[in-house]
Structure 1
Amino acid sequence: MILHLTNSATWIEAQQQGSITAPSLAAEGFIHCSTEHQMRDVANKYYRGATNMVLVHIDPAALTSPLKWEPPAHIDGSPSLPDEPLFPHIYGVINLEAVIRIIDFPLNPDGSFDLPAQLTAFSITLINQVPHHHQEAAELSCEAWKHDFPEDTTQTYLDMFTATGTYANRFVEVFAALNQADELLGLATLVDDDELPGATEPGPWLAAVFVVPEARKLGVGSALVDHVVSRSRELGYAEMFLYT
């Protein structure tokens, strides 16, 4: 999910002008944005105590200006560090057609920010901990990946979901994203050897990332990917691979 932090007055002005701009566009050549996982820290570092702030949720596919993922350009001028994550930078104005929604971003009493409920409305868990979702997840997976694995059946995925840590002598963990109503939103897998066509790397692999259509563009896929990457690091892997 790509978010731009601004204030309500700027948003009102943008609706009159037909696009969103920011002082950084003239000063640095781009508009600063963040993902939902980066925004809280950015807001608390640079905008603590600021009032009337809003988050602009942006559809990157609808942008008319170039979007680049780059090392952070710190507002205070401090250099980026080698291990810092990449941030989305928009090299031009944000056209209103790319605005999915505006989210109020109120202050806490102490002047700090927390992510709004709209951005924390789902959780990620190992799928073997939610067996009541196995059948739906297996059917979705079988349909989504049948072009790569035509021999797999629903039972193939059911067997994998119930395995803990290993499946068919391989390490595998499948993660599910669930909303507050306990509905399945998406899936992602961490596996040591995904046996994909033409893939010779030993792994681990980030594989089988899938989000149900009605939950797309809400940050579910990004959260699943980030969770798998974090889990891979927790297990001691120095690198991982993605099959596309």
Structure 2
Amino acid sequence: MAFTEEEITALMLSLKVAATAVAFSIPLAIAVAWLLSRGRFWGKNLLDAVVHLPLIMPPVVTGYLLLLTFGRKGAVGAFLDEWFGIVFSFRWTGAAVAAAVMGFPLMVRAIRLSFDAIDSKLEAAASTLGAGPLWVFLTVTLPLALPGLAAGAVLAFAKSMGEFGATITFVSNIPGETQTLASAIYTYTQVPGGELGAMRLTIISIAVSIAAMLASEWLSRRIADKVGGR
């Protein structure tokens, strides 16, 4: 089963988009997950709803909102373009933004569940020994939450690899620039004789998704064992 140059390009672009999306999402996901787990503030439920909104809304709606916000004429996009020369719309970086937004809720949820499962007595013990809040977080809370962080990152990566609706709405389907695996599959289904190409890329997508799920479970167990000292 030989792959064409365009198919390989789409695969490599999908990997780059997914990796970039996850890498830039992790710090914010940790912060938001900690706020939702430990925070006591007005509007917490609203923040939780906003974070998970991309999972509920149609992906096309999310993509359109991204276009309105980060497009060349958008409120944020126009500012970034004029002052910093940064353009997201119809660029691979825009595909990474769309993938990050769609995968963000999965990452936040996994990390939050890890924070919720941590015994607060461990953090309290570190505090009584003179450690400050930041040091307690970095040396106790975050290491104990690593299984959730790893699982969330892998799930977000898999989600980013398969993202289609928000991506094609925000950055279109430009071969070599914004055409990811999902977009390439869609393109194949729209042309006569494209069934074989679509099937090849579908098999790759399924394989990546299964591998991500297995890797998520393996990483979670591996890190949990090391953290637990077993």
The answer to whether the superposition gives a TM-score over 0.5 is no
Q: How does the TM-score come out when normalised to structure 1? A: 0.24
Q: How does the TM-score come out when normalised to structure 2? A: 0.25
The structure with the greater share of residues assigned to helix is: 2
The structure with the greater share of residues assigned to strand is: 1
Bigger relative contact order, structure 1 or 2, given CA contacts below 8 A and separation 6+?
2
